[in-house]
Structures are given as C-alpha cells and as structure tokens.
Amino acid sequence: MKQTFTKVAAGKYFIYFLWFGLSLFFVAKTVTSHQSLNNYLIFKHNFLNVLHQLDLYTPQPEYYYDRNHYGPIFSLIIAPFALMPDSVGVILWVMFNAAILFAAIKSLPIKTNQSNLIILLCANELVGSSMYFQFNPSIAAFIILSFYFIVNKKDFWAALMIAFGTMTKLYGIVGLAFFFFSANKPKLILSLIFWFAVLLVIPMLYSSPSFILQTYHNWYYDLIAKNAENLNAKMQDISVLGMIHRVFNNKWNNIYILIPALMLFALPYLKINNYRYSNFRLLLLASVLIFTVIFSSSAESPTYIIALPGVGIWFMTLRRPVSGFDIFLLVFAIVITSFSPSDLFPQAINLKYIQPYKLKSLPCFIIWLKIIYEMFTRDFAVEENKQPQLS
C-alpha cells in the first residue's frame, strides 16, 4: 500500500513538474536573458490603453511590434499583471494561464490517470504557448469549463465562460456548441444576456462608455483586416484552410471550405438520443476544441494548445482495446502537430514542408474527421451501459 501511494504521488509531482516547471523555466529564462516580451507588452497595453482611452488597435512601435487584436474586456484579465513590474507580471501571467488550463482538464468527467495523460500530451504545446506568453491556454480553459458547467447544471457560470471567451478573442463563442446539453436552456440564455451586458459595462467603470462602445466598433474592423492579413502571413493561417490553399496552390474563398466543414461538424447533433451519454458529450468537446483551431485563418503554432486537449480527450474516450490506426493517429499528432516546431524535430523537414504547407494542422484534421465518424456510428448506449451517465 505504501509503495502504491509513493508511486501515485511521484506520478502526480512529475505531472506538476512538466506542466508548471517547464513553462516557468522558459519564461524565467526569457526574463533573465532580457529577451523581448513583445506579446506580454501588447497585452499589458490593452489595459493601459483602455485606462487612458487610447485606441487599442493603433500600432505602438515605441512599446511593441505587431498589434493588439483583443477586446476591451481583456484589460480586466491582464490588469493585475500589468500593474506589476514586467519581470514579475510576465512570469505570473504565464503561470496563471497554465493553472487555469490545468484546472479545466482536471474538471473533465474522466479518470485521474486519463486527465494526467492528456496533460502529458499537451505539455510540450503548453511550453510553446508559454514561450510567447500566449492567452490561448485560458481560451482552451474557457471552452472546457463552459462544457463542464453546462453538463453539471451550472448554466449561470457556463454563460460567464462563454461570454468572457467571446469578448476577449471570439474563440470562446464555440462554447455555445454545448447548448443542447443544458438541462435549463432558458436559464442559460438569460445568463448569457446578463454576462454579456456585465462584461460590456465593466471596462466602462475605469474608462468611459463612449470609448468602450467605439472600441468594439474598431475591434470589428480590426478583425476583418486581420483576417485578410492572415491569408499571406507565413506564421498565420496554420489551418486546414491554409493547408488547402498552399498544397493545391489555389485562391479559393474560405467559405467553400467552411460550409462543408460546418455541415460535418453539425452532423452528430442529429443523434439526439446520444446527448445523455458521457462519451458522446466528450467527443463533441474534442470536436469543438479541434475545429476551433483547424478552421481558423488566425491559427498560429501556439494556438494548438487549444486543439491538443481535444486530441487527448478523443483518445481517452476510444473503445478499448485501441486500434493500431488510432495509436498511429495519436503518434502522428504528437510528432507533427506538437513537436514539428521544436528543436527535437528535423528543421530541414519543418522549414521545407511543415511550415510552408501548414501541415501542423493535418493530424488534427484527420482525427477530427474520425471523431465525427465515431459520434455518428458508435453505440454509446452499449458502451456506457455499466457506467454512470451524465443526466
């Protein structure tokens, strides 16, 4: 018994080390070596610009390069960190993002060892996101937590997750995909109205109503311009959209790809009788997390911290024993999606094939197609006959 406890504890601490220790190491290394904190400075000035009522989407090359593309409510999230010295704020910011995603994965209705394996699968992707001080781990957490709160009949808090995710980076709106799992849909709708109104007003308290309303108007046009820029950006559009454009050397309008993709995504909703089964719900969560990234023209390499938890959730819900093809797909995702940007992957292949053709999205795309197939063909009633069902 004592040996078993020791092994469990050692495994838990190893998970903690990988998840938090590696991110802490790389962000601390960046700070101590006085490297650029560019993305963090963009985030910090989102708060400062809201506070001083300066346009959020005008370049400020005196402070950072690139531009801010987040909504004004993001200023509330970054404010506690922005008020600290940069060297402290950026470290705590990275740890905050790691912690919220860790908690979200741990909230999943799966066994502890399964959630630990998902964390292991995503650890390298988290490092890549942390090195660029990204907010994407929190976006992934908002999506997962919106799922968690809905299936646990806490629609009021699910609405907060959806509203926060939407009003910061738009991605959070995909939390609405879990609407049909809600046991109290009117409450969820009213809660959404409440939280969107509250989050609209809050920045006005430390700025001004007219400025915040104008900022949302400006944000709309900024996102349109950003979408157009993504089509020709080397490190953007790392998606199925970008992959198709470059592999086939075409200039198709993205709508011709997105409409069939949306139809495929919606197909499993026809299986209404499966809504009550845990594995079906988890597969939809996996589909949402992956779809959000692989069909976004704004997807870049660190954005895949949103998609990789979806890959992990898919693998943990597979029928046992797992097929050789499923194991191949998981390894394919680990090698190409997670490790291709790292020094552990042959850079000649990465620079010649993976980056130019946006192939980082390919494993996730194949897995997403298989998720849709499984949601439509598996007998979840038989699978979960002896397991507790989510009501």
Q: Are the CB atoms for 271 and 280 separated by under 8 Å?
A: yes
For residue range 173-226, list pLDDT tens digits in order. Answer: 999 999 999 999 999 999 999 999 999 999 999 999 999 999 999 999 999 998
What is the pLDDT, as a whole number, of residue 233?
Answer: 66
For residue range 21-32, list pLDDT tens digits in order. Answer: 999 999 999 999
What is the C-alpha to C-alpha distance for residues 70 and 65, in angstroms, rounded to an integer?
A: 15
What is the pLDDT, as a whole number, of residue 249?
Answer: 85
Mean per-residue pLDDT of the chain: 92
| Residue 375: closest CA among 294, 284, 290, 288 | 284
What is the pLDDT, as a whole number, of residue 273?
Answer: 94
The pLDDT of residue 389 is above 70? no
**E strands of 65-123, at which residues?**
none
For residue range 33-67, list pLDDT tens digits in order. Answer: 988 899 999 999 999 999 999 999 999 999 998 89
Most distant CA pair in the chain, distance: 64
Alpha-carbon torsion (365, 143, 136, 75), positive or negative:
positive
For residue range 106-128, list pLDDT tens digits in order. Answer: 999 999 999 999 999 999 999 99
The pLDDT of residue 9 is above 70? no
For residue range 78-104, list pLDDT tens digits in order. Answer: 999 999 999 999 999 999 999 999 999
Peptide bond into 388 cis (omega under 30): no
Residue 12's pLDDT band, with cuts at 50, 70 and 90, is: confident
**Displacement of CA 45 from its chain's centroid (Å):** 23
Q: Are the CB atoms for 181 and 281 separated by under 8 Å?
A: yes
Burial class (CB in 10 A: 0-12, 13-18, 19+), 260: exposed
What is the C-alpha to C-alpha distance for residues 135 and 260, in angstroms, rounded to an integer?
A: 29
* Pair of tokens at residue 263: 């139809």
Residue 391's pLDDT band, with cuts at 50, 70 and 90, is: very low
Residue 234's pLDDT band, with cuts at 50, 70 and 90, is: low
Q: Are the CB atoms for 372 and 268 separated by under 8 Å?
A: yes
Average pLDDT over residues 362-367: 98
Give the N- to C-terminal CA distance of the chain in Å, as an integer: 35
* Pair of tokens at residue 301: 């390499």
